[in-house]
Amino acid sequence: MARQLGLIAVFIPILFSGYAPASPRPWPDTTRGVHVFSDQLAPWLSIEQVQFAATHYAGTQKVTRVEADRLRAINPRFLILHYRLGHGLGYRETSGACQPSGPYLAIVDGDEWVREWPGESVVQPSWFFPWAGQERVLNCDWGWYLMDVANPGYRAYWQAEVLRQLRANDNDGVFLDSLSVPNYLGAGSYQPGLPAVDPAFEAAWARRIEGWLASLRTQPIGQYHLVPNVGYWTTTRDTTDYGAADGLMVEGFAIEADQSPFAYEDWQLQMDRILAAVARGQAIIGQTYVTGDQERLFALGSYLLVKGNRAYLNIELGAGPEWWPGYDIPIGAPVDSAARIADLYEPVAGLYRRDFDDGFVLVNPTNPWDGSGVTHTVSLGITYYLAEPHGGGAVPQSGTPTGSLTYRPVTSITLGPYSAAVLLESRP
């Protein structure tokens, strides 16, 4: 689940961009190089940090209208998504044994963060998804109720509220968080608990999600970008068709966590599903929270393998602007594409490769803990320049990112499990 900010009240001077498009701003073209879509930006940024974010990110989400105007005063085409839960209705933070007694969950409404919960006088019993004899199912990790997105009354309420907020916020689309079959998010994370494995339950929910997205497309809200969070997208029994969405966030992109790569087959499945979405023309936001140098470079390499002309990467650590020097590698545009990740596999090298007009990327996605782990050494034949990122992370108030890139001449490369290398034909 993409990280959600709490209720925030802060004064920032309003700067109007004067840009009022008749339709949502388009996804920025990502054909060349690496493009970043930030998950969120804190409201306390300095002018220099705002300048940095507006000129380095394709867009963001979870910002108020005041903050959006600041960014668009610098970059009128800066794309902003409105955060809402996909099949949940936010209530309160939980504590103890799944007790929703903490602060109310908050969303953006114009210039304010307001509570998402509309109150007991508004919600209707038929809106909730019942289970195990209970009228409501609460997500204990995040404090939201599981809703029946097939219910006409709930659909009408949600669409009206979100459309109003999109207009108030000057958003270009809506991000539908956690829109996966519910038990894929953790069957034991609910009260009452959901089945760990139940093909009928899962198939019914997959159809419910598909119907929900298809319905949204027929409404005025369908004129905006619809971007569900599909999670890891590595569950083999998941049949959900997200074809009605304009874009997808894959949270846990390429690697689950530090020193925790996906099983080799799961990585292949995620890459194949992303390539199919790219072929359909859907935007992709690959988001991960890894902190290690090897893990970040592996995520970057995986992104370069599957990127299309609307594909974004985000290695997220916090609410402030961040920048990793690997984002600046001038690799250019890809010269080939693939329908499946196997199309990029080089059996002699034992690695995945994709060529760009200024270099190429090599990726070893094997896993040392699932029996697939192997180290490969490849002779390159001639000299290439290996990109080596150093440092990076939070962008200070000066707006000048830390970190650096060096380029080391090499004639061979050795890649261990879950690692990647970006090589350029000439030193930048």
**Per-residue pLDDT tens for 49-91?**
999 999 999 999 999 999 999 999 999 999 999 999 999 999 9
- What integer pLDDT is reported at residue 23 of this predicted model? 80
Please, what are the domains in the chain? 36-325 (3.20.20.70)
Check if the beta carbon of residue 358 is closer than 8 Å to that of residue 330.
Answer: yes
- What integer pLDDT is reported at residue 2 of this predicted model? 57
- What integer pLDDT is reported at residue 20 of this predicted model? 40
- What integer pLDDT is reported at residue 10 of this predicted model? 31
Q: Residue 134 and residue 114: Cα distance in Å, rounded?
A: 28
- What integer pLDDT is reported at residue 343 of this predicted model? 98
- What integer pLDDT is reported at residue 1 of this predicted model? 56
- What integer pLDDT is reported at residue 211 of this predicted model? 98
- What integer pLDDT is reported at residue 21 of this predicted model? 42
Q: What are the structure tokens assigned to 19, written together? A: 């840009």
- Residues lower than pLDDT 50 in the chain: 3-21
Q: In the chain, pLDDT over 90 holds for what percent of residues?
A: 93
- What integer pLDDT is reported at residue 319 of this predicted model? 87
